[in-house]
Structure 1
Amino acid sequence: MFRNRIPFAELLGISVDVQVKGFVADVTATLKYKNLEENAVEAVFVFPMDDDSAVYCFEATVEGKKIVADLQEKEQAHKTYNEAISKGLQAFLLEEDTSSGDIFSCSVGNLLPGQEAEVTLCYVRELPVEADGAVRFVLPAVLNPRYTPKGEAQSVTATRPQVPIGQIPYTLSLDAHFQSPYGISKIESNCDITPLEYTDSDKTAAKVSLAEGHKFERDVELLAYYAEVNKPSVAVELGVSGAPEGSVMAHHVVMLNFCPSFPEAEEQFTCGEFVFLMDRSGSMECAMNSKPNSPQRIQSAKDTLVLLLKSLPLGCYFNIFGFGSSFESFFPESVEYTQKSMEQAVIKVKEMDANFGGTEILQPLRKIYKTGVRPDHPRQLFVFTDGEVGNTKNVIQEVRKNAANHRCFTFGIGEGASTALIKGMARAGSGIAEFITGEDRMQPKVLKALKYSLQPSVKEVALKWSLPPGLVPSVLSAAPRSIFQGQRSIVYAQLKGKVSAEREVSLEYKYKDEVFRNVLPLSFVDGKAERPTIHRLAAKALISELEDWDDSGLEETKKKILEASLQSGVISSLTAFVAVNKDTKQLVEGPPVRRDVPAPGKEGAEALCYVWCPSLRESINVSVITPGQSAASEGGGGGDAYCSVMNSEASEEYESPFLRLISLQNADGSWSLGSDLAVILGMTEAVLKSKKPQQSVDDSAWATLLAVIRLHTMYLGQRDEWELLERKALSWLKPKAGLRCLVSAVLPTLLFLGYLF
């Protein structure tokens, strides 16, 4: 399966320094190389990068000499690099992959025998806030091979050699420093880290380090908990002196961090079309994490789908699509949500397997979009995938083309899910993106998105400026097209002209019939920074906005992307960093030997799972998992060759008592009084009926009240998952005759739970 050993490990180690200030991370990563061969080599390292990262610096150090790279148009950068190599000079190249903005490659050319070299790249990025208030930093370390559909250019991830996890010949070290003016209470991680160390007396600065021995089987995640996190803020940077006139860097830039808030609606829409698009490719059979008996991705997704189906309101429409190398839907078109259609769908969900081959999401998307939208039933699309696709940009463009007809909520499942795909689809479809990694539970994140989709839409979103005469705002990133309760909205803008006084900017929007305003003051006193971090983030936002809309290849758009990239020094899909050591002491004769830095992969039987999946044998060649060969050839494979079917305990169907309880709920929100419910409640059906306060009381009302109490007493920690189920149950219960009798019978419990009927 793998080479027994890697005789020449050109990459020795990676060291990362992370500086987090509030909600922004400035990262410096240094890669140390050494040529252990007898000939000159070209070392090529393909690695993941979060799609939101603004890479602004690349430099190399050889024998004590620092060589700072130039940012050039990509074709010119390749020409510069290749000409240097052909002349025997040392050269260095850093570029974003053409297929996806979250894949980068670094080439170190003409490294002499025994010679060492270091390359350093720097980037900045915004940090998201999790539902529990944690500020989340992730250093991507997992890059699964991306599935390449037939007819598409092969993904660069397909040709990387692989070695078993634990035998990676290079190391990773990471030091992270956090600063927050409101204080830092704790820092947690999915990896082993050193104890939190405060670096000042008021606990506004702290640091942690990654423990030794990271195996590259997971991304490195750090969660910082600040004393205040949901507080609106504004950051201002004055223009950079010497920057080209008219460029992003030349003028003042503001980063507006809004935290919109509005009354949570008690009522929910009973209309809407809910389409669930489920990845059923082979890689969905992988475990959710590396711990023993971890559930499979497909099983976690199936459990989530059952919860979603139970949580939908009567009167809506729904459908479920499964996709892989092909796709299928539960119904020819979306059907009305009734008891019968819900039961049919739940049965089909429980029969789903990860047996659809590769990951081709574009065709089912087109099928969904070709189906007409129902009047008065706005379409909400929920996409579940491990994100291992090779045609990311085409998929995002398809969502954007149809953005006016739906909202798109996306969920990246497992380590290595493409941030470009998951975030790009959600951004294009005015939804939200969530990632489920490590020991995260999928259900609460998905149910949160469903709650958003059931709330009345926020309309007429606009920025309103109050500025002195002569100071003109220019928005660099699009104003939010949708707003959700508790979700931050970040906007970058450029201010051209003379600053004369403090002013303000507001985000205005209409919720139902009421207009809300979130006001932020603008202060230009302390706007100058040592490094133009906000300018770089703004440039990245502008570049991303232009690239998202560049689906027709317009030359004018490409020109704007190039200008924004070259003038700001932030890399784009059309540019690359290149450095040449013009003082190379010993010229290399002839082309260097190419060495691809190996990536971590599954071992032995786990990597051979496709061989034991008869339904997939025709769609994949076993040899695709051989190191150095394509893992995405012949229309199959990619990350899907890494699923594990060996963990029989993890792959066994298991339905928890909680899922059994909610599986019994009817479409109208009620529970039926029967033996299945009685078993869950720990008694017989006869005893359950005998406990009714009066025999005239409706059986279903009694069963529903007891089921709701069971949720509160046994599963209070999972309230985010069943809150919508409870709302349906209470709405069904309230008009029922005999409710007062039921309430009296269980009054102590109801008072304890805080119920008020």
Structure 2
Amino acid sequence: MNKLASALTGLGGERVALCDVSVTADLQDLLAEVTVSQTYRNDERVNIEAVYRFPLPLDAVLLDLEVDIGGRVLKGVIVEKKAAEEKYEDAVEAGDAAVMLEAIEPGLYTMNVGNLLPQETAKITFRYAILYRWAGDRLRFFLPTTIAPRFGESPHLPHQAPEASLTVENQFSLRVEVRGALRDAQFVCPSHAVELVKSSESVVLSLSRPKAVMDRDFVLNVKAPQATRSFVLCGQDGDGLAAVASFQPFFPGLQQPRPLNLAIVIDCSGSMQGDSMEQAKQALEGILDGLQPHDRIALIAFGNSTNVLSDRPLPCNKTNLAKAKRFAKALDANMGGTEIGNALREAYAVAGRSESADIFLVTDGEVSDWETVIDDAKKSGHRFFTVGVGSAVSEAFVRELAAGTGGECELASPREGMADRVVRHFERMRAPRAKRVVIHWLEGAANIAPSTMHAVFEGDTVVACARFDRAPAHGAAILQVETDKGDIVRQELAFPAAAPSGSPDGLSTVARVAGAARLKELDDVAGLETALRYRLVSPWTNWLVVAPRTEEEKAQDLPALRKVPQTLAAGWGGVGSVAMSISMDALAAPSAMYSRSVDFAAMEDFDLSEAETVRRALPLDLPEPYRRLLELVDAEASRLDVAGALDLLTQSGLAAEFDDLFRHAADLGLRVDVVAAIVLARLLGGPLGEFLSGEAQVALASLQERAREATDAIREMGRHGIALARLTQQPVARQVLRERSDEDTLERFARIRELLDHLEDAMRRSGECMQQERARHAHREGGAIA
């Protein structure tokens, strides 16, 4: 954590209690196990209670929790929620240390660390398992790191409501090990720059830098055509056996795609500004391009009000599609708060009462009262196909909304392609609907979950669980789907032998995963009983650790509450941009795409000093300024640093091309030599890089790292400027702050934000000039030959 982050959090100047987060993930053939360590430290003079609200994947099943404090390592136990809260409070009041982990809604948890003494550190480690959800031969593994601000009043207790901070950058380290058949997969990481190391046993991916800011989901897309995607897992469940079946059905080819009656709902609230809005418009463009003449559409844009294309679905003729595209082009994230309930009621009215009407929703999902929205959606009779966008999407809302209405969900971070998501949803919507879905278990199956199943889509994972009092000798689980077209599809999965649990109570990971799957369908009494039996954190149970202290060590006063702020999600509300940072990140990061079919070297094992020392001959059509630049660098590679960047650009004749950019930077008080270093790193990091000698490549790598740091700093200033503008709106409205008192500061931040756009424009123009000059040279050479 940087000095600013560790020193500035609350108004009273209290320090951030969360000082480190480390994550290790083990991707096995059939499921992933993830271990998270959170380290809390009290640098204050009083004892504190640290409260940290954090996200986990919706399907995560927490398995273990342990606390390392005061030289002791204590294991967590599952306790009924009210009893856990009372024991936690009693321990804190008695001066002892206590840790309690609770689930406050699907996918969101609160860690309470009570009575952390001055200069004391507590390391809390928990582990969870997650089953894979395949879409064809593709798997999206992701780790959420922050909670974006939500619209509306939080339904949670005040100390549990997350607060985003502009001055805190929580950071994490990451190691992902891929074993088994998945090690032969292709990996794409659109969210972070990563490094890859391979061995005969596994593939290990880690962040290209020691730590990353927790301002976006970590996303790893895996393409594994040869992986096992349909299977049955069996494990010991006390004296019985638990089974988890993962089906992936494929249907016969469609004779005629189903016509669509589609209501398209686009979130245009303020939180969608920036990356999310660009993603939404890309999705809408893809939707409109995928429509056929026999389809019908309605378009609804919403914020705190709604804007509709028409009060009824329109046939998709050329006139109406042109009208829809004009409507889409004019959309922007300027419609206020996320009043999604009103927007969906508008969609229900426009779509009519036809059960064939589907709703295609694109949103970041940042609403507080989302469970009420889902309840209303279930009553509407319409299927929802959702696309969750943004760097920290609310997975629970968009996933549960789709699942609860018989639809499906896709998630897309700013650097992921939107076209694949739209195509996938169109395939689902046009496919025959499942009329009847049945899973035939072996005799003796009990505690089956889900108890009923309605929506099944080709190529998507279908998970079901059951328990047996005794292990079946042999047999299979069978998924049978009957479509409304009369087709019947069957998939049969054989039962494997069950391995011993290795746990004193005979509960295997499979048994606990199966137990967690049943919780959604149970009432309070059965839910509590199941959660206690399978040691699961749930709406009825918490993890609890109490660390008694000696009388001399006990805290003498009640602890001061310290909420750990969330790092503001990248791109949220237009604050910064994940998508824009692609070209910037390329300054120092290797490509994030790896394939086992090609030998890739990890950056840490690649020594540029061993590269060839003689650069390639310069092409004849290279414009003279660029030729001079390469010759200057080749003659004295040591000049490739911040101090020499501006001189190199000037002597080569390239500085004039960027004169406006340098003046812009100087006017804002930024160092021109640093901006020149960014420009030089970009120029040489592109096509010119192949003509650099090995020595120059080594120097360039160092320059690129410095340029990346400078770019991040400029971008951060822009982010804070936008937030400052928003923060002053309310004091101005309440007549606490004079309307123009902060004008100079806001204007300067706005111009700093524009500097990166100016840089992109300058780099684009430079590239275009180079291409035009080379084209003119080719034309002259062609004419001379003729």
Global fold match (TM > 0.5): yes
Residue in 2 that maps onto 1:207: 204
Structure 2: which amino acid aligns with 1:582?
A: P
Report the Cα offset of residue 618 of structure 1: 11
8 Å Cα contact 1:101/1:573 also seen in 2? no
Structure 2: which amino acid aligns with 1:395?
A: V
Residue in 2 that maps onto 1:738: none
Report the Cα offset of residue 237 of structure 1: 0.9
Structure 2: which amino acid aligns with 1:67?
A: L
Residue 517 (1) aligns with residue 517 (2): no
SS at match of 1:559: helix
Partner Cα distance (2:731, 2:565) in 1:
28
Unaligned ranges ≥5, structure 2: 569-574, 576-715, 738-749, 762-786
Partner Cα distance (2:442, 2:107) in 1:
37
Report the Cα offset of residue 24 of structure 1: 1.3
SS at match of 1:606: helix
Residue 93 (1) aligns with residue 100 (2): yes
Residue in 2 that maps onto 1:120: 125
SS at match of 1:595: strand
Greater relative contact order, per chain length (Cα 8 Å cut-off, separation 6+): 1
Partner Cα distance (1:595, 1:391) in 2:
25
Residue 252 (1) aligns with residue 215 (2): no
Name whichever of 86-95 and 499-508 sits farther off. 499-508
Structure 2: which amino acid aligns with 1:344?
A: K
SS at match of 1:261: coil
Partner Cα distance (1:487, 1:5) in 2:
46
Structure 1: which amino acid aligns with 2:178?
A: F
Structure 1: which amino acid aligns with 2:562?
A: R
Partner Cα distance (1:24, 1:617) in 2:
48
Report the Cα offset of residue 235 of structure 1: 0.8
Report the Cα offset of residue 421 of structure 1: 0.6
Out of 135, 139, 149, the residue aligned to residue 135 of structure 1 is 139
Out of 244, 252, 275, the residue aligned to residue 263 of structure 1 is 252
Residue in 2 that maps onto 1:495: 468
Go from structure 1 to structure 2 and tell me whether the alpha carbon gap of 1:316 and 1:206 turns closer, same or farther (over 3 Å shift). Answer: closer
Deviation readout 1:57-109 (Å, 9 max, x if unpaired): 22212122122223223232222211211111111111122xx3222121111
Q: How does 1:6-405 map to 2 (within 5 A)?
A: 6=9, 8-97=15-104, 100-130=105-135, 133-149=137-153, 159-160=162-163, 162-164=165-167, 168=169, 171-181=171-181, 184-189=184-189, 190-198=191-199, 200=201, 205-211=202-208, 212-226=210-224, 228-229=226-227, 231-240=229-238, 251-270=240-259, 272-287=260-275, 297-369=276-348, 373-375=352-354, 378-402=356-380, 405=381
Out of 545, 556, 565, the residue aligned to residue 598 of structure 1 is 565
Q: How many residues align?
A: 586
8 Å Cα contact 2:264/2:361 also seen in 1? yes
Partner Cα distance (2:102, 2:267) in 1:
30
TM-score by length of 2: 0.68
Aligned-pair RMSD on alpha carbons? 3.3
Q: How does 1:431-510 map to 2 (within 5 A)?
A: 431-467=407-443, 471-478=444-451, 480-496=453-469, 498-499=470-471, 501-510=473-482
8 Å Cα contact 1:476/1:494 also seen in 2? no
Report the Cα offset of residue 228 of structure 1: 1.5
SS at match of 1:357: coil
Report the Cα offset of residue 445 of structure 1: 0.5
Partner Cα distance (2:541, 2:157) in 1:
20
Name whichever of 135-144 and 155-164 sits farther off. 155-164
Residue in 1 that maps onto 2:649: none
8 Å Cα contact 1:161/1:596 also seen in 2? no
Report the Cα offset of residue 371 of structure 1: 6.0
Report the Cα offset of residue 426 of structure 1: 1.2
SS at match of 1:196: strand
Deviation readout 1:209-252 (Å, 9 max, x if unpaired): 334031223222234444613642111112235xxxxxxxxx31
TM-score by length of 1: 0.71
Report the Cα offset of residue 423 of structure 1: 1.0
Residue in 1 that maps onto 2:402: 426
Partner Cα distance (2:158, 2:401) in 1:
19
Partner Cα distance (1:393, 1:234) in 2:
32
Partner Cα distance (1:240, 1:382) in 2:
44
Partner Cα distance (2:256, 2:433) in 1:
13
Unaligned ranges ≥5, structure 1: 242-250, 288-296, 547-556, 625-642, 655-757
Report the Cα offset of residue 284 of structure 1: 1.1
Report the Cα offset of residue 617 of structure 1: 7.5
Residue in 1 that maps onto 2:531: 565
Q: How does 1:578-617 map to 2 (within 5 A)?
A: 578-584=544-550, 586-601=553-568, 605-606=718-719, 609=722
Structure 1: which amino acid aligns with 2:425?
A: A
Go from structure 1 to structure 2 and tell me whether the alpha carbon gap of 1:89 and 1:409 turns closer, same or farther (over 3 Å shift). Answer: same
Report the Cα offset of residue 3 of structure 1: 9.9
Report the Cα offset of residue 5 of structure 1: 3.1
Partner Cα distance (2:732, 2:454) in 1:
41
Go from structure 1 to structure 2 and tell me whether the alpha carbon gap of 1:564 and 1:621 turns closer, same or farther (over 3 Å shift). Answer: farther
8 Å Cα contact 1:607/1:644 also seen in 2? no
Residue in 2 that maps onto 1:636: none
8 Å Cα contact 1:72/1:577 also seen in 2? yes
Report the Cα offset of residue 334 of structure 1: 2.6
Partner Cα distance (2:158, 2:375) in 1:
18
SS at match of 1:194: strand
SS at match of 2:34: strand
SS at match of 1:238: strand
Residue in 1 that maps onto 2:540: 574
Partner Cα distance (2:128, 2:282) in 1:
38
Report the Cα offset of residue 311 of structure 1: 2.3
Q: 1 or 2, which has the higher helix percentage? A: 2
Deviation readout 1:175-219 (Å, 9 max, x if unpaired): 22222247534444332333222253xxxx333333403122322
8 Å Cα contact 1:163/1:598 also seen in 2? no
Report the Cα offset of residue 427 of structure 1: 0.9
Go from structure 1 to structure 2 and tell me whether the alpha carbon gap of 1:312 and 1:618 turns closer, same or farther (over 3 Å shift). Answer: farther
Partner Cα distance (1:197, 1:87) in 2:
51
8 Å Cα contact 1:142/1:415 also seen in 2? no
Report the Cα offset of residue 343 of structure 1: 2.5
Partner Cα distance (2:751, 2:310) in 1:
30
